[in-house]
Structure 1
């Protein structure tokens, strides 16, 4: 982001001093923009103004995937802390419905809000400039202020860089955060999930009830205790002991 800012600053032509004006009130334009007044020039400037939007949208998918993994890990780990119903698309019994877009609101709302903020700041930093001044006969007059370019606001871009840096630092901190693990990590591995879904045989329809993961009272194999999601009372596994 910083490197991109240096490049954009170096190819901008400013008619106002310092950081200039905010948003579309800025008179700064990019020298790499097209000054043509035909459709090709307009489309080129529009594409130049929106290429950052496309790149951020791709990056947003990465952020969304990261937070989805974090939310799934928290949801899975909570099954070892308290009794909860399983999340499914069509809940029955004590089951719970899945999250909209796979993210709880405490993740989805801030993520959507930040995305809207960044997209808005980008629209205030790079924007299409097209001013057509015509004479009484409808002919375009170029020397009276007509302009076709890609506008650029240094002040808006500075705020955008600061915002993006804060977002990057937040994502970095959350990526390095060491979570306390109460249940073997599963992610999307079906083998690990399946291993945690073998309750005692005397339980009836445990998938429809609230369950908790831990050491079950029944199900020991050759003296080795068994851990599973269960509707019955479970105990917390002890460090250093073997379980199946």
Structure 2
């Protein structure tokens, strides 16, 4: 969901690229591939949920003693549980599912084709049509409708550093789409 949201921001306004080895004008990758505003709370929540789960059901070794408190030497193993910890695990698990569903209902920033992590779609969007591929490095880019050849009717949906990137128009045929689907 976060990758789709980040991708949609490229259709909304010009942004810098996030790459593994950044050059001037680019951002580095996130740790764990998600923004820190999500990573830190998720790691904290995961640790808390793991600890509560370990407190809900556990192995107990019981030493039996006589009525006066003197050990009899008899030991037994049993499974122990904590009702309070189980209730907290269930409540936190339900809250996590509701938060995930709520994030899934959040609309994207712009009308952009969702590509997920499909490398072919990302590659097609990254072809710098009519631009020097080295000259675009470090510039802010935007995804949208760009002209491949100036003053022609051939258009392409791609990332571009130009200012005249437009929103895609429904029903228009863009380069790369033919009758054969190729």
TM bracket, shorter-chain basis: 0.7 to 0.9
Q: Is 1:93 paired with 2:24?
A: yes
> For residue 120 of structure 1, what is the aligned residue in structure 2?
51
Q: CA deviation at 1:216?
A: 2.5
Call closer, same or farther: CA 1:196–1:204 in 2, change over 3 Å: closer
Q: Secondary structure at the match of 2:11?
A: coil
Identify which of 214, 219, 223 aligns with 2:144: 214
Contact 1:220/1:226 (CA < 8 Å) preserved in 2?
A: no
Q: Secondary structure at the match of 1:151?
A: strand
Call closer, same or farther: CA 1:156–1:231 in 2, change over 3 Å: same
- How many residues are matched? 168
Q: CA deviation at 1:149?
A: 2.4
Higher helix share: 1
Identify which of 70, 73, 79 aligns with 1:150: 79
Q: CA deviation at 1:170?
A: 2.6
Identify which of 111, 118, 131 aligns with 1:189: 118
CA RMSD, aligned part only?
Answer: 2.7
Query: Which string of whole-angstrom CA distances, capped at 9 and with x for unpartnered residues, describes residues 154-209 of structure 1?
Result: 22212221221222233234345554652211111122112112223343521332
Call closer, same or farther: CA 1:192–1:87 in 2, change over 3 Å: same
What are the ranges of 5 or more consecutive residues in structure 2 without an aligned counterpart?
A: 66-70, 176-182
> For residue 68 of structure 2, what is the aligned residue in structure 1?
none
**Separation in 1 of the partners of 2:101 and 2:167?**
32
Higher strand share: 2
What are the residue-to-residue correspondences of 1:1-244 with 2, within 5 Å? 70-130=1-61, 141-142=72-73, 148-175=77-104, 179=108, 182-205=111-134, 206-219=136-149, 223-233=153-163, 234-244=165-175
Q: Secondary structure at the match of 2:80?
A: strand
TM-score for both structures, normalised by structure 1 = 0.59
TM-score for both structures, normalised by structure 2 = 0.77
What are the ranges of 5 or more consecutive residues in structure 1 without an aligned counterpart?
A: 1-69, 135-139
**Separation in 2 of the partners of 1:106 and 1:149?**
42
Q: Secondary structure at the match of 1:117?
A: helix
Q: Secondary structure at the match of 1:215?
A: strand
**Separation in 1 of the partners of 2:151 and 2:133?**
21
- Farther off after superposition, 117-126 or 90-99: 117-126
Contact 1:203/1:231 (CA < 8 Å) preserved in 2?
A: no
